[in-house]
Amino acid sequence: MDVLLEEECSPSVAVAGAASIGALVLLSGAAGAAFPGINGSIVFQSTRGATAPGCLYGSTSELFVKLTVSPFSVPQLDCTGSTDQHPFVSPDGSEVIFASNRNDGVDFELFTTALSTDGTASGTPVDVSQNLPSGASDDYPSWAPAGPGGQNRIIFQSTRGGGLPELYTEDLNTPGSVAPVFPPSQTQTYSDTEPVYDPSNPDEIAFVRTQGSGKSQIYTYNFVTQSLVNLSAADGDQNSNDSKPDFAPTIDGNGYR
């Protein structure tokens, strides 16, 4: 089972067939899978011209949906003139969660938007950032795996602790449920960012940790065993910056991913 990440290679750690920066690397990890089911539409952020009727914004980062079946159009999810970024579709495809600075134009909060059966937006976005202090930001949300209609747990990075970004979990159905993944006393000298759940295991995450040296490395963490593993160090490379982890799909005996 593997974790896919983006790595900035140093001259002494070249990846065969890849450029010297921005290479994709596959590391052996503790877990791995993609959400099961049939691939559908793709949600992404873009500065392309507006496609929503009456939307006059085109230079900011808005969210769009790429339909992968006819008519292959690219409908726009929302139109605010603000920056919407880092969308993540729920396990059952019924919602998308994303970060946006639409409330004040500066700080980012998390929003969910319902998706219709054709992958386009359905309804008004809901602000789900609970008790966010002024001047703080939530970003990079990821859904925990769950059955249809049962998704409510998310993980994200936030500066709500008053310093460097830390990881927090939240139950969207329970007010006041935001909680840090690691005790604040353990996160004074580094930042934790870009968390993502293992779609086959709600107790396992991968994320980026940046130490005082400025080097970013990929870690996995298990909520039950409290096992914290530095995957980047496992291959002996201490000179590169690793980022944007995701779990590679694993096919079981029935062909599911």
What one-character-per-residue DSSP string does 172-213 give? TTSTT--EESS-GGG-SS-EEEEEEEETTEEEEEEEEEE-TT
Higher-pLDDT residue of 118 and 78 is 78
Tell me which residue of 212, 164, 171, 169 sits closest to 192, measured CA to CA: 164
Q: What is the pLDDT of residues 180-203, one digit of tens each?
A: 999 876 656 789 999 999 988 999
Q: Could you give the maximum distance between any two Cα atoms of the chain, in Å?
A: 54
**Centroid of chain to Cα 138:** 11
pLDDT band at 118 (very low <50, low <70, confident <90, very high): low
Predicted local distance difference test score (pLDDT) of residue 17: 33
- Minimum mean pLDDT among 23-37, 153-167, 227-241: which range? 23-37
DSSP 76: B
Residues 6+ apart with CB under 8 A from 55: 76, 79
Name the average pLDDT for the chain. Answer: 78
Burial-class residue 131 by CB neighbours within 10 Å (0-12, 13-18, 19+): exposed
Q: What is the mean pLDDT of residues 198-218?
A: 90
What percent of the chain is predicted at pLDDT more than 70? 73
pLDDT band at 167 (very low <50, low <70, confident <90, very high): very high
Higher-pLDDT residue of 160 and 119 is 160
Highest mean pLDDT among 8-17, 64-73, 94-103: 94-103
Predicted local distance difference test score (pLDDT) of residue 63: 77
Q: Cα angle at 70 between 85 and 34, to 5 degrees?
A: 50
The answer to whether the beta carbons of residues 96 and 43 sit under 8 Å apart is: yes
Q: What is the mean pLDDT of residues 18-40?
A: 44
The residue assigned the tokens 């409330």 is 103
Q: What is the mean pLDDT of residues 208-218?
A: 87
The answer to whether the beta carbons of residues 153 and 146 sit under 8 Å apart is: yes
Burial-class residue 257 by CB neighbours within 10 Å (0-12, 13-18, 19+): middle
